[in-house]
Structure 1
Amino acid sequence: MDGIQFGRRVAYWRNRRRYSQQEFAALMGRSLRWVQELEGGRRQADPQLSVVRMAAVRLSTTVDRLLSDPAVLCPAESEIDAVRAALHRHDVLTGRSDDSSAEPVPVENLRRSLVYARSGFQAGHFAQLGVQIPELLVDATRAADRHQGDDQLHAYALLSLTLELTEAAAIKWGDSELAVVAGQRAVAAAERSEDPVIQASAARHLADAMTHHGQAAAAVAFVTAAAHRLQGDLLQQGPDGLSVLGMLWLKAAMAQAAAAEADDRTPAALARAVPAFLDQADEHAARLGADGNALWTSFGPTNCKLYRVAAHVQLSEGADALAVAADIPGEALAALPRERRAHLLTDRAYAETQAGLRAQAVDTLLEAERLAPEEVLCRPRTKTLVEDLRLLGAGSSEARLRALADRCGLPR
């Protein structure tokens, strides 16, 4: 049982029943702090069945709804607004900490909070970031402003990584404008860190945001310039350097594919540059020698194959995408974070749709949903594919598609 998602469902039904946290605590015979920790996913990783049953009774709902109702997996608009508001705070915007007398969070504590949030992202839990990111942004900004010496440089690195996480979450939420704002701030903070690995990591995230925001050609120019500028330093930084350098070329490939798709004059010429960028990434993956997850990149030979699939999908080359996907070793794929595996499945579903295999596409989406529900039920990109499949028809999978569309909250 997922304690974080269980907590979100409890909060959802508590609000539906118009109970305050204090009132719900009284109904459960618990403290206010207990309820706050339960709803925040901090109380226990595996809530006891007795707690689930009592909560279901007090909230006039069912155990099944508290354990598996997908309707409450997705972030509330108010949570996304809270992230946007945090980015627009005076202290976060200017980099000058507020007038709070609170001491800056120690760098190691800040790092642990970031690792926890980033690990949740890679596990496919995107909605919870709407709650986690605002506090991280404020804490990281204060740390970068008030720490001195090496601690300040490390704090700027963590601030940049927090802004990267904001960008990545915004992409999942379908808010490319928010992603670009966060990505630009990440690049600025990375430069203050004086760390080429952090600088490259921020550059690859901004390129991704620009691509999703319809600025693919500019993203190619930006990310390749970053790769050329930082390459010498990155090659001296071991697995971290190789991983972020390889990711720069993977993002260049995706941006180039998007630029080709958007071009009305010479799309074929632009598309021909995509394999060269992917080959550059492959070279760094071969030098790395194995799959890894340095700086949450999941970079290595396997992830390079996932990006080849994604690039073919972006270029509407469904059959080619499926051929690459079929060649990915199952054992290597299983070792990747859940978010990466679910993303591949949604890309494969797109490829199957492009190849006319629509019933298979539905089955692939259902597999992705079992692996990482938020990637399918909450992400606008995937919901668009579900809607397309409804319009095109899915043959023998039509009933399963209708049920999936309902879980995605799509109108009938």
Structure 2
Amino acid sequence: MAHRREAGCYGEDNADSFGSRGALPLCHDRSVPEPIGRRIALHRRRRGLSQVAVAGLVGRSESWLSQVERGLRDVDSYTALRDLARVLRVDIATLTATGEASQPERSVRDVDVAAIERALLIGTAPEEMPDVVAAVPELHAAYQAARYDEVLAALPSLIAALEGQHSGLTAAGYTVAAKMLTKIGSHDLALIGADRAWYAARRSGEQADVGMAVNQVVCALLPTARAVLAEELAVEMATRLDGEDPAVLSVAGALWLIAAVAAARRIDAAAAEERLDHARQLADRLGEDANHRWTAFGPTNVAIHRVSVAVEVGDAPAALAAAAAVDLDRLPEGLHSRHVQVQLDIAWAQAQRRRDAEALVALLEIERAAPQVARRNVVARDTIRQLLARARGTNGAAVRGLAHRAGVAV
């Protein structure tokens, strides 16, 4: 069975999902990037680790890793790719043979994040302190509209304004900071922001505030070595939240959706489906597609996560079928990041199936609808890198153009 991909804060098995590729020839053109399996084997041996050890650390079987290293199957999960890079202590770009092209973009992102890092760790004194009451909902709206540059630019001043305050609004402010940092892959800083949101929420005492903050702690932890803890937190808090208040229902539903993604990353399709069902029941009780506590929770977001879960498990056909059933027109206005999530999942799924033309179409649609997703979202960037590494023929120019506009290629 072919297992599947990673994702962000969000599978299934299918023999045709992201399927096996067949053995690679012993001799190959050195102008073609070294196959990913050989790079994984090389870095594993450099670290002196056995296949059993590495497979266990990334939550996969020794047989799976052996097949990957021998070129019999792809690393069909972004989560698995990210976890392999972490265990082997290399960048994802090193494993995907796009290291040189990715260096300039990383330095650009570092410049963007530096001011936020200083605000979180040292404290800053901006020339003009924002009005927190207005700024927090405005930045949540900008984030959900995928205006990520705007959010990144405003966060240092907002964090300074939040310093020393304790309220539901403070929790929401740190939450949007953690969301943005998670989106661009700065998971260490995201966890700091999420932890501060949790602290402020506990001081406020509101169920929905606490759940919202825990939701973001889970999102920050999930892409790290503490994914097991993240999953436990999500299930525990989703189970604890109770009542018919729309905000509480929405936050509980969002937590069940994250828990479903976490189960999918462990290739536990049954648990993922059960948690999706919990979320669907809460969406039915809510009775609409809403955006309480900036969760975008409702029946449509449950349907969107069904696509993400199928992608996480590695069932590309199921992901594409689920995507066809999503009615994005039902979402509240302004949720561009939710609109493009389906296309992002499709792009990743098609890239893992090496259907690069279809993946490129999905990425171009993302760029058209929300250009900053292509430039800022870590999964989008890694998908573009994959296409760029094997760009050939008629699609090559289009892929290189997209990579250049997204800052993935120099």
- TM-score normalised to the size of structure 1? 0.69
Distance in 2 (CA, whole Å) between partners of 1:336 and 1:161 is 18
- Preserved CA contact (<8 Å) 1:291 1:300: yes
Q: For 1:156, which of 156, 167, 185 is the aligned residue?
A: 167
Pick from 290, 294, 319 the counterpart of residue 288 of structure 2: 290
CA deviation string 1:15-60 (max 9, x = no partner): xxxxxxxxxxxxxxxxxxxxxxxxxxxxxxxxxxxxxxxxxxxxxx
Q: After the TM superposition, which residues 9-408 of structure 1 pair with which residues of structure 2 at under 5 Å, given as runs?
A: 77-89=110-122, 109-142=131-164, 144=165, 155-229=166-240, 231-232=241-242, 235-237=243-245, 239-258=246-265, 260=266, 267=267, 270-332=268-330, 335=333, 337-393=335-391, 396-408=394-406
The aligned amino acid for 2:161 is: D
Matched position secondary structure for 1:291: coil
Q: Tell me the CA shift for residue 83 of structure 1.
A: 0.9
Cα distance in 2 for partners of 1:222, 1:245 equals 12
RMSD: 2.6
Write the distance in 2 (CA, Å) between the matches of 1:84 and 1:325. Answer: 37
Q: Which amino acid aligns with 2:376?
A: C
Contact 2:290/2:332 (<8 A) preserved: no
Alpha carbons of structure 1 residues 397 and 223: separation in structure 2 relative to 1, 3 Å = same
Which letter maps to 1:127? D
How many angstroms apart in 2 are the aligned matches of 1:78 and 1:287?
44
Deviations 1:243-298 (A, max 9, x none): 1110010111112222x1xxxxxx4xx33211111110000001111101111111
1:334 to partner: Cα distance: 7.9
Q: Deviation of residue 368 (structure 1)?
A: 0.4
Residues in 2 aligned to 1:196 and 1:160: alpha-carbon distance in whole angstroms: 12
Distance 1:403 1:200 in 2: 42
Q: Using the TM superposition, give the Cα deviation of residue 395 of structure 1 relative to its aligned residue in structure 2, in angstroms.
A: 5.9
Q: Deviations over 1:316-336 (max 9, x none)?
A: 221111110001125325856
Q: Give the 3 Å change call, closer, same or farther, for CA 393–87 of structure 1 in structure 2.
A: same
Q: Is the 8 A contact 1:249 1:280 kept in 2?
A: yes
CA distance in 1, matches of 2:239, 2:332: 33
Report the 3-state secondary structure (helix = DSSP H, G, I; strand = E; otherwise coil) of the residue aligned with 1:85. helix
State whether residues 358 and 395 of structure 1, in contact with CA within 8 Å, keep that contact through their aligned partners in structure 2. no
Which amino acid letter does the alignment assign opposite residue 140 of structure 1?
L
**Greater helix proportion:** 1
Contact 2:139 2:151 in 1 (8 A): yes
TM-score normalised by the chain length of structure 2: 0.69
Once residues 411 and 167 of structure 1 are traced to their aligned partners in structure 2, the CA distance between those partners, rounded to angstroms, is 27
Higher mean alpha-carbon deviation, 402-411 vs 315-324, is at 402-411
CA contact (8 A) 1:319 1:352 kept: no
Task: Output the CA distance in 2 between the equivalents of 1:125 and 1:343.
Answer: 15
* Aligned CA distance change for structure 1 residues 89 and 314 (closer, same or farther; 3 Å): same
Could you list the per-position Cα deviations for residues 341-399 of structure 1 after superposition, in whole angstroms to 9, with x for gaps in the alignment? 12221111112223443201101100100111111123232111111122344764332
Q: Distance in 1 between matches of 2:174 and 2:119?
A: 11
Structure 1: runs of 5+ lacking an equivalent: 1-70, 93-97, 145-154, 261-266
The structure whose RCO (Cα within 8 Å, separation 6+) is larger is 2
- Whole-angstrom distance in 2 between the partners of 1:244 and 1:397: 42
User: How many aligned residue pairs are there?
Assistant: 305
Q: Which ranges in structure 2 are unaligned for 5 or more consecutive residues?
A: 1-103
Computing the radius of gyration over CA atoms, which structure comes out larger, 1 or 2? 1
What's the % identity of the aligned pairs?
28
1:33 matched residue in structure 2: none
Deviations 1:291-323 (A, max 9, x none): 011111111000111111111112222111111
